[in-house]
Amino acid sequence: MMNKYLKYIKNIRKKKNFTISCAESCTGGMISSYLTSIDGSSNFFEGSLITYSNKMKIQLLKVSNKTINNYGAVSHKTALEMVKGLSKKCKSNLLVSVTGVAGPSGGSKETPVGCVYFGFGKRINNKYKFKTIKKKFNEKNRKKIQLKSTEFVLKTICSELRDI
């Protein structure tokens, strides 16, 4: 399934100009790895910040300490602040943030293993429109959660590129 999304991104790049940047937490660079597996990805992939720790989310993406304390590192609010912080660092057409509990341990009743929040930003007329999406992957395997999160991002990128 991933190859289908990667092929679509590569093919649409031939027809449209766009750039993509990411802020990854629980995927640890996996999204970036898949995007850079596309031949010619340097023409559209600007880069990624891997902000795994709360400290890095705060320092690099300007996620507020208050947000992390009140809502948690795995929340709509944190995913939104991550993607908004990324928008201050770069001006890509599409921005992605991801934060979640990849497991197999950790998590809580509110944010169990497999709970992942995604932030997306799309630049239209030099102004960003942001949204967040919550997914619950029914997996207990860390790698599978990371892969499913990456696949969801690639699928969403394909969907968002239709409007650019």
User: Starting at the edge strand that comes first in sequence, how are the strands of the sheet with 20-24 ordered?
Assistant: 45-50, 20-24, 94-100, 115-124, 127-136
- The whole-model pTM stands at 0.97
Predicted confidence (pLDDT) at residue 79 exceeds the cutoff of 90: yes
Compute and round to an integer the Cα radius of gyration of the chain.
Answer: 15
The pLDDT, as a whole number, for residue 163 is 82
What digits encode the pLDDT tens for the residues 9-53? 999 999 999 999 999 999 999 999 999 999 999 999 999 999 999
Residue written as token pair 């509110």? 110
Please, what is the average pLDDT of the chain? 96
Burial pattern 66-95, b for ≥16 Cβ within 10 A else e, equals: ebbeebbbbbbbbbbbbbbbbbebeebbbb
Predicted confidence (pLDDT) at residue 164 exceeds the cutoff of 90: no
Predicted confidence (pLDDT) at residue 97 exceeds the cutoff of 90: yes
**Which of these CATH numbers, 3.40.50.620, 3.90.950.20, 3.40.630.10, 3.20.20.70, describes 2-13+22-161?**
3.90.950.20
Predicted confidence (pLDDT) at residue 140 exceeds the cutoff of 90: no
Task: Show me where the domains of the chain are located.
Answer: 2-13+22-161
What digits encode the pLDDT tens for the residues 119-138? 999 999 999 999 999 999 99
Mean pLDDT of 87-116: 95
Q: Which residues pair with 20 in a beta bridge?
A: 45, 94
Question: Could you check whether the bond before residue 112 is cis, i.e. omega within 30 degrees of 0?
Answer: no
